[in-house]
A and B are shown apart, each in its own frame.
Chain A
Amino acid sequence: MVKEIERVGLPVVHVASIVPISLTVGANRIVPGVAIPHPLGNPELSEDEERELRLNLVKRALLALQTEVEKQTVFEE
């Protein structure tokens, strides 16, 4: 799905729990998720901490969307 969205010229960032799969599939902008059942959350944190974590992940995804890339790029912390 990432590739088909990219194909029409829209920038797309893949927030993915298993980065090797995302790379194999062919996503160009990748942000590693936290874990498979909760890529953008962590139930072990307090509500506020979790909200902060999610906000930061989304901000990183947005940063990826604003970044010019020439090849597959993983946006780590």
Chain B
Amino acid sequence: MVKYKVVHYLNQFFGQIGGEEKADIPPLIKEGAIGPGKALQQALGEEGEIVATVICGDGYFADNIDVAAEKVVELISPYKPDVFVAGPAFNAGRYGIACGASCSAVRERLGIPVITAMYEENPGLDLYRKRVYIIPTGDSARYMKEAIPKMAGFVRKLGLGQEIGTPQEEGYFPQGIRVNLFVDRTAAERAVDMLLAKLKGEPFQTEYPMPAFELIPPSPPIEDLRSATIALVTSGGIVPLGNPDRIEAASASKFAEYNIAEVNDLTSDAYETAHGGYDPTYANEDADRVLPVDAMRTLEKEGIIGKLHDFYYVTVGNATSVASCERFGKEIAKKLKAAGVNGVILTST
């Protein structure tokens, strides 16, 4: 017997509408379970029913977050679901944001419990973890099999109105929510216990982990632009035609440096993008749309900037790990500094 109704959110790919060429479709709704929703339905058994599936293109959602989330709310409300579930998004950035934003909007507007799932480095995690239960998954659809039962277990609990325990007990990403509870030892005693454990090299668990989120103090501004050398850097994958250094379309393992001393304009017969995950048509037509060499040359000629740096630096930001980006950033920064560059414009798709 059905005890609760579920609506599921998927992107255009998992929703079986199409690939990147369909990434610009606005939200639509279909009856019943689709794609990963079928496995989810199976795992839920007879108690829970996926009554409808909302599908939206990743590009559309990421470009119109508020509008798209609102539309999702509108589409699902006639179905009167008891639970809203989105994804899993794995390490797909735009999809993760779509899952987080739609869950957040549904929770706020319809007041029903929501849950999504994604990889720990998905940018959607930090944006929405405070408002939405997010379950960890692997970084790609290879981990679908592991993700579905975990999601189903959570949906079931929410659907039956069961209490959700701590992140440690339930396995969702911590939301930074502090709950008052009674303990039999004072804070001073607990702190000394932790300190003693630490001194002895024994394991201990902090009661208030500090976020790893680090902000770098802003650098001082450029004082005299007319004598400044400005460098261009991009995570948008703009490379000479043929991608000579073979930067990967996703999860890039390297960055590259290209000489543009003689280049005034990035034309389609010489430059393209190596970036996967977004529609490359526009960047391939005119790579200046991602790496604005033509505009920089104009400003250089007009004397507004001193000089466009002779080299630009490029990688592909698609699902590339934070650790890799840090490494690329460090090496690029060292080269720019050594070359006497005064300021940097970094573009991201």
**Does B116 sit at the interface, judged by CB under 8 A?**
no
| CB of B59, distance to nearest CB on chain A (Å) | 6
Q: Which residues of B contact A26 (CB under 8 A)?
A: 213-216
Known contacts A26-B216, A62-B230, A70-B218; A39 and B236 CB within 8 A of each other: yes
Contact A33 B93 (CB under 8 A): no
Q: Are A10 and B285 in contact (CB under 8 A)?
A: no
Which of these, B217, B218, B330, B349, contacts A29 with CB under 8 Å?
Answer: B218
Report the nearest A residue to B218, measured CB to CB: A28
A24, B329: Cβ atoms closer than 8 Å: no
A1-18 contacts to B (CB < 8 Å)? 1-18
For residue B345, CB closer than 8 A to chain A, the reply is yes
Contact present for B222 and A11 (CB under 8 Å) = yes
Q: A10-B219, A24-B127 are in contact. Are A51 and B346 (CB under 8 A)?
A: no
For residue B344, which residue of chain A has the nearest CB? A12
Question: In whole angstroms, how far apart are the Cα atoms of A1 and B320 in the complex?
Answer: 11
Number of A-B contacts (CB under 8 A): 201
A57 & B292 in contact (Cβ 8 Å cutoff): yes
How many residues belonging to A are interface residues under a CB distance threshold of 8 Å?
A: 52
Max chain B CB contacts within 10 Å: which of A11, A16, A51?
A11
Answer whether A37 and B283 are a contact pair too, CB < 8 Å, given A54-B288, A68-B221.
yes
In the docked arrangement, what's the CA distance between A16 and B127, Å? 16
Known: A5-B333, A12-B346, A38-B283. A66 touches B221 (CB 8 A): yes
State in angstroms the CA–CA spacing of A70 and B222 once bound together.
15
Q: How far is the CA of A66 from the CA of B223 in the complex (A)?
A: 6
Q: Per a CB cutoff under 8 Å, which of B59, B219, B328 touches A36?
A: B59
Chain B residues closer than 8 Å to A11, beta-carbon distance: 218-222, 342-344
Assess the A8–B305 pair: CB atoms within 8 A.
Answer: no
Decide if B260 is an interface residue (CB 8 Å cutoff).
Answer: no
Chain A positions 20 through 62: 1 when the CB is less than 8 Å from some CB of chain B, otherwise 0: 1110111011000101111111010000001100110111011
Q: Is B304 an interface residue (CB 8 A)?
A: yes
- In the bound complex, how far is the Cα of B214 from the Cα of A20, in angstroms? 16
Assess A37 versus B333: contact at CB under 8 Å? Given A62-B230, A67-B221, A69-B218.
Answer: no
**Residues from 299 to 349 in B contacting A, C-beta threshold 8 Å:** 299, 304-305, 315, 325-326, 328-330, 332-334, 336-337, 341-349
Query: Across the interface, do B329 and A39 meet the contact criterion of CB distance under 8 Å?
Result: no
Q: A residues within 8 A CB of B97?
A: 18, 20-21
A14 in contact with B296 (CB, 8 Å): no
- In the assembled complex, the CB of B267 is this many whole angstroms from the nearest CB of chain A, namely 13
List, in ascending order, chain A residues with CB within 8 A of B281's CB: 37
Taking CB atoms, residues of chain B closer than 8 Å to A13 are 343-346
Q: Which residues of B contact A16 (CB under 8 A)?
A: 347-348
B286 CB within 8 Å of chain A: yes
Minimal Cβ-Cβ distance residue in A for B216: A6
Asked if B59 and A10 make an inter-chain contact with CB atoms under 8 angstroms apart, the answer reads no
Known: A10-B343, A13-B345. A37 touches B282 (CB 8 A): yes
Least CB distance from A48 to B in Å reads 12
Which of B63, B219, B290, B305 is in CB contact (< 8 Å) with A40? Answer: B290
A37 touches B344 (CB 8 A): no
Interface residue B62 (Cβ < 8 Å from any Cβ of A): yes
| Across the A-B interface, the 7 shortest Cβ-Cβ residue pairs | A4-B329, A41-B289, A1-B329, A28-B218, A38-B289, A12-B344, A38-B282
**Would you list 6 pairs from A and B whose C-beta atoms are within 8 A, ordered by A residue?**
A33-B348, A36-B63, A37-B282, A39-B289, A58-B345, A65-B230
| Further pairs besides A28-B217, A38-B289: 5, Cβ < 8 Å | A4-B328, A11-B219, A18-B348, A40-B289, A41-B282
